[in-house]
Structure 1
Amino acid sequence: MTRWLSYLLLPLSWLYAGVMAGRNWLYNRGWKQSVAFAEVPVLSVGNLRVGGTGKTPHVAWLVEWLRQQGQQPALLSRGYGRRTQGYRLAQPTDTALTIGDEPLQQFQYFRGQVPVAVSENRVVGIQQLRQEKPTLTAVVLDDAYQHRRVQPAFNILLTEQQRPFYEDFVLPTGRLRESRGGAARADVVVVTKCPPHLSPQAQAQITRRVRRYAQPEVPVLFSCYDYGAPVAVPGTSAVGQPGPEVLLLTGIAQPEPLRQYLAGAGYHISQHARFADHHAFSAEEISGLAAQLQPGQCVLTTQKDAARLLEPALAASVAKLPVFYIPIEVRFLADGAARLAALLTPYFPPHAVV
């Protein structure tokens, strides 16, 4: 976006920020209802910025931590990009079109051992989950920072190190869903996609800037990505391990960290087929990609994109391609994981473990 266009859009940003500020004021005053669930702790993971902060792997980290503590968590999302409506509990027959690509990815990641549900109205979603899964001890909300109808017990705010919220502006001038002051609702701020060896001095500087908008002394943690070995996507012709010459296929908000990792790992990306976040691939697009594939090459993609490639309508086209996805896990810098665990533990006393 050019500087002049940004200036022209500023009035719209001020208007949008004012509307969001008014909405938040009504919730803060109690004039708009926000429901708390005292019996089951609700943990929210979200951001101020539109897309690309790493919510999915951080949600997976949180759910896995809860399971390690003996808890029985469920995951609730609105199911962005799905073509269904209302509450829906994920089943093995679901696809990205029925529950959304990120919920499908989580359902597959936990092999169906963690209930994953979607609902535009999180209050209804939580109520339904508790009815259907009475042994639940926690609900994790994915991308619900602006969903004020639910009052979470614990609010985790994510912000990307290369694109921090404190340097951004409200839509449409920038990419913020609400003003920077929304960070004041966070119980912890996690700065994501950091270099693994981000210096203590850099961390301290970022922390100071975060706390200009967050509550004083709010914990500020830092995380990075650990990339795993390529995994063959079921239903494709992928076997063994990919060679050095690859085509990259992405439909995510921020593919640059993956590109950097692949380059450092010795892969040569001959072409990057880059689509918008949550893009629904068509059979024509997959066939076009196959036509450009040279002998010995394969396709690398993300786990979220791989979930969308499993749509039945794409089966015939995808079967001809050797497709691998690169798994991603979150790792906290220094003692970040222990600090986050210490913040969460009081919500799960020993007597609540089943």
Structure 2
Amino acid sequence: MQLVRKLLFPFGIFYWIITYLRNVFYDIGIFKSYKIPVKSIVVGNLSVGGTGKTPHIEYLIRLLQNKKIATLSRGYGRKTKGFILANEQVKPTEIGDEPFQFFTKFKNISVAVDGNRTNGVQQLMQLVQPEIILLDDAYQHRKVTAGFTVLLTDYSNLFSEDYILPFGDLREPSFGKKRANVIIVTKCPHDISEIAQQNIIKKLKVSVPVFFSHIVYDEQIYNGESAVTISAVNEPKLIVAGIAKPKSFVDFLKKENDEVMLFPDHHEFSESEIENIITKANGKKIITTEKDFMRLKGKISKEYLYYLPIKVAINNKQEFDKKILEYVG
């Protein structure tokens, strides 16, 4: 894989030029951008996948729960097109995994998808009239301008140490960081030291506040109707994950006699794959991610299928919350 990326380096230069010019044209006004007419927060990243956007969106939903919130996503992997506002009949295949997860967990918000973010915002303004719009994975969608931008970067793969696609994982040159109002370094060790934090801040070379977050796993697993304390699951189990970076999820759950089945991010499970999962489990509990559970529930008996929820904890939470709440007003 590394050899292939090195061979693709010349294409990375061309891609760098294209994305650089695109951003310049937006910055100087040659390309026009629609300014969102209500409070709006983008959560995104400079790299492809795996920085933890979904739990950070959920963090904001909980923080702003007293407001009338709408989320707007592209709806990656869905089998539909155009604008869709989620309702009780909607399926994951119609709006995508993460939006379906938002809709299932938070009943007091509106959840919409649209690949055209400008149209999506306009539809929300007409149909919902939200006080706040949270835009999931919209950092590069410069056809709309949000009021506040949260840029995420993975602790194990900082954007300052990465390269442009296809040589690296960056969707745009790292100086795109200048559009951020705050930066969160995600998936940090729980006990990250102050010295380590300061060293990372120096590497990022930014003038905006930098925060650090880590994953917090729930103490229980759920099947949609009941919950079981993880520490009480002593028998062998099957761990199933179809996410971008499953290592920490697997490491948290796995014990000596457990088995693991991994799939690509946003994977649509075929009937044969589901049969293989059931066969491999052989009556054992199947523990998966919350996102994968949305696609597997109803296809595997709830007697066996469980998911492990996650949240994020942000170091210096009070200061981060204050910045968000001051913007929202």
Q: Normalization by structure 2: what TM-score? A: 0.94
How many angstroms apart in 1 are the aligned matches of 2:234 and 2:203? 43
- 8 A contact 1:193–1:225 mirrored in 2: yes
SS at match of 1:331: strand
- For 1:21 and 1:324, the matched residues in 2 are separated by 45
Deviates more, 1:5-14 or 1:98-107: 5-14
Name the SS for the 1:129 alignment partner.
helix
Shift of 1:6: 2.8
Partner of 1:65: 63
Which of 315, 319, 322 is matched with 2:304 structurally? 322
Per-residue CA deviation, residues 206-261 of structure 1 (Å, 9 max, x unaligned), is 011112xx3x2x100000111003333249xx875544411111110010111222
CA deviation string 1:267-292 (max 9, x = no partner): 34632211111000112101111111
Mapped to 1, the partners of 2:200 and 2:48 lie a distance apart of: 20
| Alignment correspondent of 2:33 | 34
Distance of 1:63 and 1:146 partners within structure 2: 22
Aligned length: 326
List structure 1 runs of 4+ shifted beyond 6 angstroms: none
Corresponding residue for residue 344 of structure 1: 324
Q: Equivalent residue for 1:219?
A: 209
Q: Which runs of 5+ in 2 are unaligned?
A: none
Q: 1:145 aligns with which of 136, 139, 144?
A: 139
The alignment status of 1:45 with 2:35, answered yes or no, reads no
Q: d(CA) in 2 for partners of 1:86 and 1:118?
A: 8
1:261 to 211, 232, 252: 252
Aligned 8 A contact 2:288 2:308 in 1: yes
Alignment partner for residue 96 of structure 1, among 92, 96, 99? 92
Q: Distance in 2 between matches of 1:58 and 1:122?
A: 20
Contact 1:46–1:143, Cα closer than 8 Å, also in 2: yes
Compute the displacement of 1:298 (Å).
1.2
- For 2:123 and 2:52, locate their aligned partners in 1 and report how far apart those are by CA, in whole Å: 27
1:76·1:140 contact (CA, 8 Å) conserved in 2? yes
Mapped pair 1:293 → 2:281: yes
Report if the CA contact (8 A) 2:113-2:120 is conserved.
yes
Determine the C-alpha separation between the residues in 2 that align with 1:142 and 1:298: 32
- How much does 1:58 deviate? 0.2
Do structure 1's residue 230 and structure 2's residue 220 form an aligned pair? yes
Cα deviations across residues 71-111 of structure 1 (Å, max 9, x unaligned)? 2111110100001111100112111110000000111111x
Q: Specify the alignment match of 1:132 in structure 2.
A: 127
Q: Which runs of 5+ in 1 are unaligned?
A: 350-354
TM-score (norm 1): 0.88
Change in 2 beyond 3 A, CA 1:240/1:220: closer
Please give the per-residue CA displacement for 1:91-137, whole angstroms capped at 9, x wherever unaligned.
Answer: 12111110000000111111x21100001111111111111112x21
Instruction: Give RMSD over aligned pairs.
Output: 1.7
